[in-house]
Amino acid sequence: MWYQVQQALQDSSNRIITGLANLLPGFVALVVAVIVSGLLAWIAGLILRRFLRRIDFDGKLVRASGAGLADLSPAGSPTVLVVRLTRWAIAFVGLLIGVAAFDATLTSRLAGQFFAYLPSLVIAALLLLVGNAAARYVSREVLIGAVNMNIQYARLLGAGVKWLILVFSAALALNHSRTRACRWAGGSEFREPDARKEPR
Amino acid sequence: MTAANQPAELLELLKRQNPVQLILAIPHSESRDAINVAATQIRAALAKFAGKPRTVILYSDTLNGSPGEESPPSVDDVDLQTVPFPLAPVTASRFEALWPVLQLSQALSVQACCLWTRSPESLTAVRADSLLRPVLEQQFDLVVPRYNRRRFESLINSAVVYPLTRALYGQRIRFPMAHDLALSANLTRRLAEPNHKTGQPLRRDWITTYAACQGLRIAEAALDLYLPPADSSDLSKVLAGVLDPLMSDVEQNALHWQRTRDSQATPVFGNSSVPAEEPLSTDVIKMIETFQLGFRNLLDVWKLVLPPATLLELKKLAALPADKFQMQDDLWARTVYDFTLAYRLRLMSSDHLLRSMTPLYLAWVAAYALEVQGVNARDVELRLERLCVSFESQKPYFLSRWRWPDRFNP
């Protein structure tokens, strides 16, 4: 009996160790992919920033499209916006490669889910972006107006209006993405044709 | 009085008669009597001119007498005619009011045309002489009025518009925004040229700076007249309304003013009286408080516009007590230049940019009010002259920032 217990323990240890040994290269590949993509993102951002500064990207773009884009960008610079978007895109692709190396079936399932959910994500991101721009513009409008009217709590008013619009746009974005996510999670797109029939 | 109301009909009618040498447009015509008074004064003024130029006075065709009231007899004769004409009121844009007059003047090849936006009765023979003689007899291309200036009036002009245009365009025109003008045939022809592609008028709201850029001869006419009181209910709106077209004009004429060096005096025709002493009626303490509030709250906005050295000086200024409050001219000049550059770079919406300048402008007004209260009119003039000299001395700073804006950015 002791032999059988010993055998069972040995088998389970072997299975765990074999499983871990099978998983380890994928995990190392994931870590390497994330590190390399992070490094690439940093280098690409650096090169892109220098290039855009050299061609006066901010100035040209703002002259062509007005001050709205500068208001939209972090630190008032469209260059920073482009550099950040590029860095995050490269980092995200690196992460996907890493996850693919980790587990191919998981990745394909994740990718499928991700692309099904992508339109909702894009719309939610757009809502957040527009809300952010509107919040900046309106809060500045309120702040300047309040200062010129000699209102002592001008900054509070400006900040209040800004957060009000931000929360509202975030709620809109969340509501939109959650509705789509619920529909998706509920499986309306993946149910069998019979299951979509209206209940009598 | 001519019956023709349409410009084309009027043109045909006038072309059939003796050549017209002068067209005078009075958009704000209140009554037929007022037009007759102006016509009598103009006739008296023109009688002293060599050759007695034949003149047509255009007044608004919307002018109607009261129902049942008989129109007073016209004072027209061979040398002077009064004609109703579709004149736009000079409210938002001076150029819109001037455009049909320019078209008619060019079609008739007149020697001079004149826009008088005040009441017709205020155009006396002496004022008409000062305004018209430089164009009709001295070969000047543009004559603008030099209004009398009370120390606490037209301060946006004194603080920004006059010093900035003087430093940039090199012409010491005291009121570059003046609505009343006399133009030569040469300037009329240039202004009446439409856009070659669209056929639409080329809007030139700043005729003084356009004439300066074109190298035309400019004179001022001292009319012994004050500016009408401005609407000051919303200062930031007024400030933005004045500075927006001014800075846009600076941007358009950048090639010209970068080549201009020192300013030159403009010939002045006519005489004006010394303005009476005026008590300080503005609340200086409130202005200083608004500036201090602006410094505490608008620093994030100003950081986008002003370099660190200027912000540091503003910080020191905000900490000063009211009795020692004094804004250096160089600091104010650099601030105006920095905002002009920010306008060009579109660092934020122009409305936000210019309205955020209001506390800074109030700081200048407060410092100016504290400095000039109790001094005589001559010292006030000297004070404003020092400010203009500062704007001129800081022009190289503006040139550097204009050419290499990134070099100074924080």
Residue B383, token pair as written in the block: 């004070």
> Is 60 exceeded by the pLDDT of residue B5?
no
Average pLDDT over residues B175-192: 90
Residue A150, token pair as written in the block: 């000699």
Instruction: Read off the pLDDT of residues A8-25 as tens digits, 9 standing for 90 and up.
Output: 888 888 888 888 887 788
Poorest-pLDDT segment among A67-71, B166-170, B330-334, B376-380: A67-71
> Is 50 exceeded by the pLDDT of residue B410?
no
Q: How far is A90 from chain B (nearest CA, A)?
A: 29
Greatest CA separation for chain A:
91
- Rounded CA separation B240/B249 (Å): 14
State the pLDDT at residue B3: 43
Neighboring chain A residues of B359 at a CB cutoff of 8 Å: 147-148
Average pLDDT over residues A77-86: 84
Confidence grade of residue A62 (pLDDT, cut at 50, 70, 90)? low
Contact B181, B143 (CB under 8 A): yes
Residues 6+ apart with CB under 8 A from B318: B291, B292, B295, B296
Residues 6+ apart with CB under 8 A from B226: B147, B148, B150, B153, B275
Most confident of A11-20, A54-63, A103-112, B180-189: B180-189
Looking at this predicted complex, what is its ipTM?
0.82
Give B84: exposed, middle or buried? Use CB within 10 Å, 0-12, 13-18, 19+. buried
Confidence grade of residue A107 (pLDDT, cut at 50, 70, 90)? low
Vertex B230: Cα angle to B227 and B234 (nearest 5):
160
Residue A60, token pair as written in the block: 């040209």
Residues above pLDDT 70, as percent of chain B:
90
Neighboring chain A residues of B298 at a CB cutoff of 8 Å: 143-144, 147
Confidence grade of residue B28 (pLDDT, cut at 50, 70, 90)? confident
Average pLDDT over residues B38-46: 87
Q: Which fold has domain B7-269?
A: Spore Coat Polysaccharide Biosynthesis Protein SpsA; Chain A (3.90.550)
Neighboring chain B residues of A71 at a CB cutoff of 8 Å: 348-349
- Rounded CA separation B42/B57 (Å): 9
State the pLDDT at residue B163: 95
Confidence grade of residue B312 (pLDDT, cut at 50, 70, 90)? very high
In degrees and rounded to multiples of 5, residue B230 shows phi and psi of: -85, 155
Q: Which residues of B touch A (CB under 8 A)?
A: 235-236, 286, 289-290, 293-294, 296-298, 301, 304, 345-350, 352, 355-356, 358-359, 405
- Rounded CA separation B41/B129 (Å): 10
Between B3 and A83, residue with greater pLDDT: A83
Nearest to A56 by CA among B404, B392, B213: B404
List the single residue in A with minimal CA-CA distance to B239.
A148
Instruction: Read off the pLDDT of residues B85-121 as tens digits, 9 standing for 90 and up.
Output: 888 776 656 677 788 888 888 888 889 999 898 888 8
Residues above pLDDT 90, as percent of chain A:
24
Query: How do the domains of chain B map onto residue ranges?
Result: 7-269, 284-408
In degrees and rounded to multiples of 5, residue B222 shows phi and psi of: -80, 110
Q: What is the pTM of this model?
A: 0.77
Is A70 within 8 Å of B346 when comparing Cβ atoms? yes
List the single residue in A with minimal CA-CA distance to B350.
A67
Average pLDDT over residues B26-38: 83
Instruction: Read off the pLDDT of residues B383-393 as tens digits, 9 standing for 90 and up.
Output: 999 999 999 99
Q: How far is A95 from chain B (nearest CA, A)?
A: 36
Average pLDDT over residues B339-355: 90
Neighboring chain B residues of A160 at a CB cutoff of 8 Å: none
Neighboring chain A residues of B352 at a CB cutoff of 8 Å: 140-141, 144
Instruction: Read off the pLDDT of residues A88-102 as tens digits, 9 standing for 90 and up.
Output: 889 888 888 887 776
> Is 70 exceeded by the pLDDT of residue A47?
yes
Query: Quick one: how far is CA B378 from the chain centroid?
Result: 23
Poorest-pLDDT segment among B44-53, B82-91, B242-251: B82-91
Contact B142, B182 (CB under 8 A): yes
The closest CB to that of A154, out of B235, B293, B304, belongs to: B293
State the pLDDT at residue B258: 92
